[in-house]
């Protein structure tokens, strides 16, 4: 490993140093969670060669390679670039990968918006060097309430006559200080979206303190002052068309997932490189050549236009992969297994939880976060578990148990539980 390299300066390219031994994490930035079968095969090859044959899938639709060494980074980047993949802005002070809904209709229009935003902001020097990360999403309606946790979320409302409309929400975030986003503007025509999005980022860039998220700026200056600053940034800006004639006439035929998806579970958000390679080959031969990472951290195979669904499902079943019913629906961050901020071993805890939950509780959605940063979005699951204290010789690890009941964030049900106490509480649920 080249010890002269300051890996902190490489965060903007999606690289984190994971531990004192010099292991690295590389996050591959997938807008809308999409990747082609060719891209998936290359990612599988890289994981097999450099990352212990395992991939971590994130709840924002990205893929992480853990355990990389510095001497292999250049080769990994060359091979990703050869198939059009990037990690630019996947970490650090930049606009992160644009997440989106993959369920429901309108996915061709959702993809179109995600792609335009991704191309506009990724690698654009005007929008790098932000005070902290900036998370963006395009939501297909309000189910799941994921618009509440974004720095900026566009909620697609569909067409009204010859116009397409979105609601625009800003200043949400999870972490140690969860804050629900607020509705900045409703029923915005899509040609007005990009000037508004750019204006929000510029206000954040110019007025937030280093290391602070947009929600912190709102807490400091208030909504009225934020709106005033945004008005100065956006007054006089011209509409910018996002859709093209190709999108309007052929979008449904071109876009992956327009007829839905076949979902393959990735227990603990871990996916073996060999399994990814096999699924990619089937997607190429029997599907439309596209896959995606879902926000539940599972692998999706596209049912695009013209796909023979029974043939595709049969081919995937013959792989012998586990069925979705065999696992708890639970989002999981890497925790102390791979993340320097992780306080608890999330995947180990998942195994313990699966043993104690009854049938009724297993039907609920779950999320385990290895620290209060909340990367697995525990406030947006029916039940969320947050590691709050690391185990030492003098103390046990501690956890908070959250319950979501309503349209907002989940709230603490029990706090400061030991693992044994947590498992007792969970057993009582089912």
DSSP 228-268: HHHHHHHTTPPP-----HHHHHHHHHHSTTTT-EEEE--GG
User: Which pLDDT does position 326 carry in this prediction?
Assistant: 66
Maximum distance among all alpha carbons in the chain? 66
Q: Among 10-24, 83-97, 409-423, where is mean pLDDT lowest?
A: 10-24
Residues in the chain: 430
**Which architecture characterizes domain 103-245 according to CATH?**
2-Layer Sandwich (3.30)
For residue 324, name the pLDDT band (cuts at 50, 70, 90).
low
User: Which pLDDT does position 81 carry in this prediction?
Assistant: 97
181 within 8 A of 171, measured Cβ to Cβ = yes
For residue 18, name the pLDDT band (cuts at 50, 70, 90).
confident
Q: Is 41 helix (H, G, I), strand (E, B) or coil?
A: helix
**Tens digit of pLDDT for each residue in 286-315?**
999 999 999 999 999 999 989 999 999 999
Locus of tokens 């979902």: 263
List where CATH 3.90.480.10 sits in the chain: 7-92+258-326
CA distance 259 to 36: 17
Residue 249's Cβ-count burial label (10 Å; 0-12, 13-18, 19+) is: exposed
Which of these, 65, 82, 78, 83, lies nearest to 16 by C-alpha position?
Answer: 65
User: What pairing do the DSSP bridges indicate for beta strands 398-403 and 411-417?
Assistant: antiparallel
**Tens digit of pLDDT for each residue in 33-90?**
999 999 999 999 999 999 999 999 999 999 999 999 999 999 999 999 999 999 999 9
User: Which pLDDT does position 339 carry in this prediction?
Assistant: 93
Sequence-separated (6 or more) residues with CB below 8 Å from residue 289? 36, 37, 38, 283, 302
**Tens digit of pLDDT for each residue in 262-283?**
999 999 999 999 999 999 999 9
Which of these, 152, 121, 141, lies nearest to 31 by C-alpha position?
Answer: 121
CATH topology of domain 330-429: Sulfite Reductase Hemoprotein; domain 1 (3.30.413)
User: Which pLDDT does position 430 carry in this prediction?
Assistant: 66
List where CATH 3.30.413.10 sits in the chain: 103-245, 330-429
Assign domain 7-92+258-326 one CATH number from 2.60.40.10, 3.90.480.10, 3.30.70.60, 3.40.50.300.
Answer: 3.90.480.10
């Amino acid at each position: 490993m080249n010890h002269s390299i300051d890996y902190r300066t490489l965060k903007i390219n999606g690289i984190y140093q994971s531990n004192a031994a010099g292991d690295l994490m590389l996050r591959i930035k997938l807008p809308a969670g999409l990747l082609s079968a060719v891209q998936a095969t290359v990612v599988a090859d890289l994981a097999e060669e450099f990352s212990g044959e395992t991939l971590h899938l994130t709840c924002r639709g990205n893929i992480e390679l853990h355990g990389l060494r510095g001497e292999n980074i250049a080769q990994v980047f060359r091979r990703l670039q050869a198939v059009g993949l990037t990690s630019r802005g996947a970490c650090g002070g930049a606009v992160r990968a644009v997440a989106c809904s993959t369920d429901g209709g309108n996915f061709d229009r959702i993809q179109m918006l995600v792609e335009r935003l991704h191309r506009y902001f990724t690698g654009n020097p005007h929008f790098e060097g932000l005070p902290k990360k900036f998370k963006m999403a395009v939501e297909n309606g309000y189910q799941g309430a994921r618009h509440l946790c974004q720095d900026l979320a566009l909620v697609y409302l569909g067409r009204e006559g010859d116009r397409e409309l979105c609601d625009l929400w800003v200043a949400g975030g999870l972490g140690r200080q969860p804050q629900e986003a607020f509705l900045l503007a409703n029923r915005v025509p899509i040609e007005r979206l990009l000037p508004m999005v750019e204006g929000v980022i510029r206000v954040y860039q110019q007025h937030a303190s280093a290391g602070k998220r947009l929600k912190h700026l709102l807490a400091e200056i208030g909504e009225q002052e934020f709106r005033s600053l945004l008005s100065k940034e956006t007054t006089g800006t011209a509409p910018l068309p996002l859709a093209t004639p190709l999108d309007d006439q052929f979008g449904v035929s071109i876009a992956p997932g327009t007829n839905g998806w076949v979902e393959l579970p990735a227990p603990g958000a871990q996916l073996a490189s060999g399994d990814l390679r096999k699924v990619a080959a089937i997607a190429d031969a029997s599907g439309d050549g596209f896959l995606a990472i879902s926000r539940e951290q599972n692998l999706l195979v596209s049912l695009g236009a013209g796909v023979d669904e029974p043939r595709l499902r049969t081919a995937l079943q013959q792989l012998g992969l586990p069925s979705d019913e065999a696992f708890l629906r639970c989002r999981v961050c890497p925790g102390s297994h791979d993340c320097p901020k992780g306080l608890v071993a999330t995947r180990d805890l998942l195994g313990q939880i699966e043993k104690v939950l009854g049938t009724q509780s297993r039907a609920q959605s779950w999320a385990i976060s290895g620290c209060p940063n909340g990367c697995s979005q525990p406030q947006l699951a029916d039940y969320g578990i947050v590691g709050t204290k690391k185990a030492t010789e003098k103390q046990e690890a501690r956890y908070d148990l959250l319950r979501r009941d309503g349209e907002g964030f989940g709230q603490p049900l029990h706090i400061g539980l030991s693992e044994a106490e947590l498992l007792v509480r969970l057993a009582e649920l089912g």
